[in-house]
């Protein structure tokens, strides 16, 4: 008799009955298909041993098979019991390898305590960072960051416990985290703006810990001497838990979040009407003056899903987007442009409902993305007013300071959506254009004495 094939004289019908009973047990136990054959062979070997013992006692083969199956147990009860045992064994073969149930060692090196302290600090900072970031993150970015950081926190917490138990993998894991912390601190110092000071406390801690590890290296080698290897697959998982939290955030920042609207989801139409007529300047009405009406219509095909994260449901931002204009034909030698805004109180409205969607003279976080505009004449648009299929309209009315000989201007209008994209369109009298996406400009330099009003001459 062999373990794999059973007694040499076992009939095919008997073998089929044993394997059928095992298959039924594994179905109830929900054993994964990739390991099912190995587990089935193990159970089959046990049944064959039982059959053999009954055959030795002088029982016929059919009765021996019946007794072996009865000894093993019924399908439902045994399947449930085996499922619990199997999945407990699965846990032991993964986490159990990383964190074996052995008693803490006496006389551990001092470096172990420092490494555990470093891991504890990083775990706490990671949890605090997640708690701050997640409520404000957009859905896809938030879920991806949570998944990556959760694996990293899980691995660091296991390493924190495993270090106390003399595990080699935990020592190397803690060393990698310390090196990563040191490099991050050095990079922060090197990237600091000129004239600014940065004290990387984490890097200082990591440097001290690595020095202590070097001093205690021989005792550490003896401390982990009895540690079991964790295998290549688990090593790869641990390596990814270190690398992904570093690589994923920049990748998420560079890639569009599919839950958020993009530039292709917004159509910005800009039109400009020029005529002559009566216009109110402060408290004085003037007739037969040049007038320009600049109209911007923003039509959204798709709106953002939780653009400010879950936190935005409870504390929404009043203004999220900004729009403004720039006179392209202003005289760069004049203190003020030839054309001034004389009416800025035309409501910013949702065309379909007539509801107010924004306000003139307001600024939103996105205003920093606009190119130089006449700052006091920008508008802010509330994120709650942006809805799929709706159009938001804003209008400005301008007249020249001195009407004699004042040429009609060309005007560039810009629209910034949060910190994500910028659209621009340039119009002249009687024209209607569709704005196009442009690169987000670098932050504008401080205003100088030659541009005291933030007009932004060309």
Higher pLDDT: 200 or 216? It is 216
Provide the token pair at 54: 């009954």
Cα four-point dihedral sign 364, 263, 348, 313: negative
Percent of the chain at pLDDT > 90 equals 31
Distance CA 360, CA 25 (A): 72
Cα-Cα-Cα-Cα torsion 372, 374, 377, 382, nearest 10 degrees, comes to: 10
What's the rounded mean pLDDT across residues 190-200? 76
Q: pLDDT band at 86, cuts 50/70/90?
A: low
Average confidence (pLDDT) over 182-189: 86
pTM: 0.64
Q: Quick check: 454 pLDDT over 50?
A: no
Greater model confidence, 236 or 402: 236
88 compared with 254, residue with greater pLDDT: 254
Closest Cα partner for 75 from 16, 38, 22, 39?
22
Can you read off the two tokens belonging to residue 251? Answer: 């990748």
Q: Identify which has the larger pLDDT, 26 or 351.
A: 351
Strand residue runs (E) in 282-338 = 284-300, 321-327
Give the N- to C-terminal CA distance of the chain in Å, as an integer: 95
Q: Which stretch of DSSP H or E encloses residue 311?
A: helix 311-314
Q: Which residues of 280-302 are buried (b: 16+ CB within 10 A; e: fewer)?
A: eeeeeeeeebbbbebbbbbbbee
Mean pLDDT of the chain: 81
Give helix 232-254 / helix 168-191 axis angle, nearest 10°: 20
Q: Does residue 215 or residue 443 have the better pLDDT?
A: 215
Q: Phi and psi at residue 437, in whole multiples of 5°?
A: -75, 140
80 vs 408, residue with greater confidence: 408
pLDDT of 99: 64
Q: How confident is the model at residue 198 (pLDDT cuts 50, 70, 90)?
A: confident
Q: Are strands 391-400 and 339-343 parallel, antiparallel or unpaired?
A: antiparallel
What would the DSSP string read from start to end of 204-233?
HHHHHHHHHHHHTHHHHHHHTTTPPP--HH
H or E element, residue 274: strand 266-281
């Amino acid at each position: 008799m062999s373990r794999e094939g059973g007694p040499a004289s076992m009939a095919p019908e008997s073998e089929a009955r044993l394997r059928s009973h095992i298959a039924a047990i594994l179905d109830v136990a929900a054993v994964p298909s990739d390991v099912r054959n190995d587990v089935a062979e193990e159970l089959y070997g046990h049944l064959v041993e039982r059959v053999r013992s009954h055959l030795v006692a002088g029982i016929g083969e059919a009765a021996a098979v019946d007794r072996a199956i009865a000894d093993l147990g019924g399908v439902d009860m045994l399947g449930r019991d085996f499922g619990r045992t199997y999945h407990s064994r699965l846990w032991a073969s993964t986490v159990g390898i990383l964190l074996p149930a052995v008693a803490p060692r006496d006389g551990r090196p001092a470096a172990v305590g420092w490494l555990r302290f470093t891991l504890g600090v990083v775990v706490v900072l990671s949890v605090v960072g997640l708690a701050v970031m997640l409520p404000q993150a957009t859905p896809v970015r938030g879920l991806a960051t949570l998944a990556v950081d959760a694996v990293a926190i899980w691995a660091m917490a296991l390493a924190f416990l495993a270090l106390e138990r003399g595990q080699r993998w935990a020592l190397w894991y803690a060393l990698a985290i310390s090196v990563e912390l040191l490099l991050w601190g050095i990079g922060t110092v090197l990237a600091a703006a000129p004239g600014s000071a940065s004290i990387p406390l984490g890097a200082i801690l990591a440097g001290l810990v690595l020095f202590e590890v070097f001093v205690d290296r021989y005792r550490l080698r003896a401390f982990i001497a009895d540690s079991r290897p964790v295998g290549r697959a688990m090593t790869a998982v641990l390596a990814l838990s270190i690398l992904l939290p570093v690589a994923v955030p920049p990748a998420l920042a560079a890639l569009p979040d599919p839950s958020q609207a993009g530039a292709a989801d917004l159509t910005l139409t800009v039109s400009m009407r020029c005529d002559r007529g009566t216009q109110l300047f402060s408290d004085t009405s003037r007739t037969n003056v040049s007038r320009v009406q600049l109209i911007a219509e923003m039509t959204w095909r798709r709106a953002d899903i939780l653009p400010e994260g879950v936190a935005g449901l409870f504390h929404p931002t009043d203004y999220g987007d900004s729009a403004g204009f720039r006179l392209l034909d202003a005289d760069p030698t004049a203190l003020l442009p030839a054309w001034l805004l004389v009416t800025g109180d035309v409501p910013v409205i949702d065309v379909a409902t007539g509801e107010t969607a924004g306000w003139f003279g307001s600024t939103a976080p996105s205003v920093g993305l606009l190119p130089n505009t006449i700052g006091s004449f920008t508008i802010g648009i509330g994120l709650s007013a942006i809805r799929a299929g709706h159009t938001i309209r804003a209008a400005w009315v301008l007249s020249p300071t001195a009407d004699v000989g004042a040429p009609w201007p060309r005007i560039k209008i810009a629209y910034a959506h949060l910190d994500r994209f910028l659209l621009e369109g340039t119009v002249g009298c009687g024209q209607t254009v569709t704005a196009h996406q442009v690169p987000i400009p670098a932050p504008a330099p401080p205003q100088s004495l030659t541009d005291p009003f933030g007009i932004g001459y060309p």
